[in-house]
Chains A and B, each alone.
Chain A
Amino acid sequence: MISIQTLGFSYPGAGFRLQVPVLSVASGEKLAVIGPSGSGKTTLLNLIAGISVPDSGQVRVGETTVSQLGDAARRNFRITHIGFVFQDFQLLDYLSVLDNVLHPYRISSALTLNRSVRQRALELLEQMGIVDLQAHPAHSLSQGEQQRAAICRALLPQPALILADEATGNLDPDNKQLILDMLFARVDDNGATLLAVTHDHELLPRFDRVQDFADFRGAAT
């Protein structure tokens, strides 16, 4: 699903440089990426999603070499093929739970919001156990409920790849396992690939494979 070759990236003016010689993630695989803070885990996710463009090397997601796409093409690819789950949920307080889930369809012309999409959103919310909260403002939900809504938002476009950046980082221990269970279940339902950045070693046994960032030279050089 993901194929990275001799990836090199640095932020202008910063001393940081990320280097990933090779990284492969099979389709349907659940890969956990661990590493210390500042090692470049989020940068890696940005490069895979096409948010940033590598200085060298290439990034392939599925059949698409994301690193060679133009700005608009990367954006469209990202919103249709990749679902993001963030550490701090990043729901919009001024939208309801349902509107947050539908949000990607309202901000991109690559996705079309119709009745079947709404129906699918409600089904996802039901699967995550928060369909009764669909009309509630996002900020009124508990942390666990908010992350569940965020997962629904990421999964609604039926992406092939889910990128989770410390998805359980802000949750209490009970919710961590629960959320991870739900995330894994939805990823399996959709036949998607999951690449999750985490520093929580307790969760690692749940994944198919763990990639340690220490294997990459991503610290300041």
Chain B
Amino acid sequence: MMDSLYIAWRYVTWNRGKTLVLIASITLVAFLPLALQALLNESERQLRTRALDTPLLLGAAGSALDLVMNSLYFDDEVPARIDMRAPAVIDDSGLAYPVPLYVRFMARGAPVVGTTLDYFEFRGLQLAQGRQFALLGEALIGAEVASRLGMGVGDSLVSSPDNLFDIAGVYPLKMTVAGVLADSHSPDDRAVFVDVKTAWVIEGLGHGHQDLAKTEDSSVILRQEEGTVTANAKLVQYTEITPENIDSFHFHGSAAGYPLTALLVVPEDDKAAARLRGRFIDDARYQLVRPDTVIDGLMESIFRIKQVIDAVIVIVAIATLLTIVLVFALSLRIRRDELETIFRIGCSRMTTARLLAAEILIIVVASATLCGVLLWLLHVNSAALVQGLILR
């Protein structure tokens, strides 16, 4: 057998191109379904873990999946808005406490999550550097954001405009990094957290500018009536909140109408959760969902799709294997003289078959090894891959 393996080894290494193609084909055929399964398993694990950690989610009536994906995984599909009346509804129930979320904007490729300090306590997030955000305009960045952008405490990042061409819309705010979160192996690692009020400043609901009542530059004043000064578009609004100008920042209108994308609702206990869900069953404005139930539905859909993909992979695998068989058959035809020669020298048909089997064995073992290595690499990096490719 060793002699057969030796000769087979020489043959496959001599025909490197053909050997590599065969190995690659077999590896892919084996790796793809296994990798897909592994990624799906990891996706399911991450989705479920995150969903199970979040008891209830309140959002505007509509797509529960959009709500869950935006609120838990900071997906960029922004659900319909609710407003600041919603936290009061939860507070007044006495059954739970709300944690507001406003996930709409981006900064340097990371989702900007407007929330309150209660979020970090709820999620059990720890600081790796610095401190919590304290002043308007400060940010707390996730571990992956810090690593990717090479940022730390004291650095700054600018929120991305919604639309490059909408110059009258949301405009960039320069935010100062007050702290960096420790790695939590969750979507929180790739987010930029700000106070929800800072998110409203990015939205344009709050701003800072020179004091119109005391300005000496009359060219910024459109008109002045008793008790009211109206500014024109020349008035420069600050795009960065500093200790010098923070006093000028203010919000217009009623805070009750300020937008949120969701509320994390943390009930006192299961009974309180059930009672709360009962209150919102027929609510036309809001939906109160259990994220784990929504994710269960999503996974069912994904696995149905996966079954279709599996069927396609099986067909592709059969086609690939048939192609490989064809390659071997053609190879045998090309080697007819060689096989005839060794037969004439005194080699039995059985030994010839063993030689060919040894070649196949080497290729299969190499493919299996490569497949194993790839699967191991996938396993080691699956959490990051899922976070980076699927749950972003």
Contact = CB atoms under 8 A, between A and B. Distances in A.
Interface in B10-24: 10-11, 13-15
B337 A107 contact: no
Interface in A5-38: none
Contacts of A99: 10
Contacts of B7: 95, 103, 106-107
A90 B337 contact: yes
**Top 5 A-B residue pairs of the complex, sorted by shortest distance between their CB atoms:** A79-B346, A94-B14, A106-B3, A90-B341, A107-B347
A106 B6 contact: yes
Contacts of B14: 93-94, 137
A51 interface: yes
Contact of B338 (A49, A92, A137): A92
Contacts of A148: none
Contacts of B49: none
Contacts of B355: 107
A90 B343 CA distance: 12
A108 B351 contact: yes
A75 B346 contact: yes
Nearest to A107: B347
A203 interface: no
B11 A107 contact: no
B354 to A, nearest CB: 9
Nearest to A111: B346
A49 B344 contact: yes
Contacts of B338: 90, 92
Contact of A107 (B10, B15, B342): B342
Nearest to A46: B344
A86 B337 CA distance: 12
Question: Main SS of the interface on chain B?
Answer: helix
Interface residues of B, number: 21
Contacts of B3: 105-107, 113
Nearest to A76: B346
B224 interface: no
Interface string B97-109: 0000000000000
A104 interface: yes
Interface in B340-385: 341-348, 351, 355
B349 to A, nearest CB: 9
A78 interface: yes
Nearest to A42: B344
B345 A79 contact: yes
A103 B10 contact: no
Given A93-B14, A94-B14, A94-B15, A108 B346 contact: yes
Contacts of B348: 72, 75, 108
A84 B6 CA distance: 23
Nearest to B8: A94
Given A90-B337, A92-B338, A104 B345 contact: yes
A210 interface: no
B341 A86 contact: yes
Given A94-B15, A103-B345, A107-B346, 9 more contacts: A75-B348, A78-B345, A79-B346, A86-B341, A90-B337, A90-B341, A92-B338, A94-B13, A106-B3
